[in-house]
Structure formats: C-alpha cells, structure tokens
Amino acid sequence: ASHVDGPMRKIGNEAFVFPVGDAGIWARTGISAPSNTADHFTAQYYWAPYSSLTPVAAPLVNVSQVEHWILDRTNGTSNVSVTLYWEDGARSGINSFTSDLHVSRWDGSIWQDHGSTSMTGSVSAGSVTSSAAVTNFSPFTFSAITNNILPVELLYFKAGCEDNGVRLDWATASEQNNKNFILSRSADGVVYEDFAQPEGAG
C-alpha cells in the first residue's frame, strides 16, 4: 500500500524487489540474488523519460518515453539479472504482451539491449526480466524491438507562463493505439492530481 519515493539500498545476497515509486506512482524494479552478502545495490524510479532517448543499439527500435529507473551496484562485483515492472500498462505505454518488450540500459552514449528472458502478468500489469545477468549498471527502462510496444514517439514537451496560467505544448512523431494523454499537476511536487485527458491520435 506504499512505496519509497527516492533512492533505496538493498544489502545482501538474496534476490530482491525494490518497492520504489515517484510522485504517487508505484513502479518496482528487481534484481536476482547477488553472490556476496556484503554487496549492495541502490535503486530509484523516475516518472519521466531519461534525458537521452536515442540512439538505440540493434535490434532495439525505441525506448520508453514515460519512465526510467536508476539501478546501481554500489558495493561489490556481483552481476544480477534486472526485472522491470509495470503496474499500469496504459500509464507505462505497454500495449502488447509479447517478447518484443525488452530491458534496456543507457551506457552513456547509446541504449543497449538486455533482452527478455521471462515475462509475467499481462498487458495491464506485469514484468520483464533481462535475458542474462547485467555486468554494468546505469539507467534502465523498457524498450521494444518492434514499433507496436511503445506506441507514442514524443518530439517535444514544453511548458510556459501565459495569462497567469501555464501553457503546455507537445508534439508526437507517431502514435499507435494511443487512447489519450493524462496531464497532472502538483503544488508541492509530491501530491499530484489529474486535470485533463486529451485524446490521442491513435
């Protein structure tokens, strides 16, 4: 019924699912068992796209423009498999429950493919696990090897003051099976409320 909004560290040699989230959004990530009891990993979820969405390494086509996780090995040398969870497929932009959905990692210059060894759940809520143990750590997010998994390709999103209010403008390069957008606002950056749901083009 709750989650950690911020960084969370796990110490030990057991598999673990981090109950992390952001701005009222619950979005877990998990790791397989590290090899050493002294090893620790630190995870944090961001309900925002990572600052770089391109380029992507083959066979990836695109990465999530909705969210990302920072998962770092902060002590030790253990390599672990990484699992990403979606608690609301519509919010995460997941519209197809197939092995085309992968785990990807930003290596500082390009999004690398970490595959999909197992999936649980359904389109509405589920998880995907990397195809092998990950040896380097940095931002992670969902990725797709076809264009039918992550349906919205965002060109830009801008906000500015206008007539004592805020004007929001965005444009998409493509939308597929996109029902609508959900706009939320907050006075304190902690509690958010939805205020508009403009229709999507798909």
3-state helix, strand, coil in the chain (%, to 5): 0, 50, 50
Rounded to 5 degrees, φ, ψ at 167 are -100, 130
Neighbours of 127 (CB within 10 A): 19
Q: Residue 10 forms beta bridges with which residues?
A: 41
Q: How far apart are CA 27 and CA 33, in angstroms?
A: 20
**Residue-wise pLDDT tens digits, 141-180:** 999 998 655 667 777 888 899 998 999 998 887 776 677 8
Q: Residue 65 forms beta bridges with which residues?
A: none
Q: Quick one: tokens of 117?
A: 């060894």
The structure's pTM equals 0.75
1 three-state secondary structure: coil
Tens-digit pLDDT profile for the chain (202 aa)?
A: 789 999 999 999 999 999 999 989 999 999 999 999 999 999 999 999 999 999 999 999 999 989 999 999 999 999 999 999 999 998 898 888 888 999 999 999 999 999 999 899 999 999 999 999 999 999 999 999 986 556 677 778 888 999 989 999 988 877 766 778 888 888 877 777 889 888 887 6
Q: Which amino acid is at 89?
A: G
Q: How far apart are CA 13 and CA 78, in angstroms?
A: 9
89 three-state secondary structure: helix
Q: How far apart are CA 27 and CA 19, in angstroms?
A: 7
Q: How far apart are CA 166 and CA 15, in angstroms?
A: 44
C-alpha dihedral (196, 199, 200, 202), degrees to nearest 10:
150
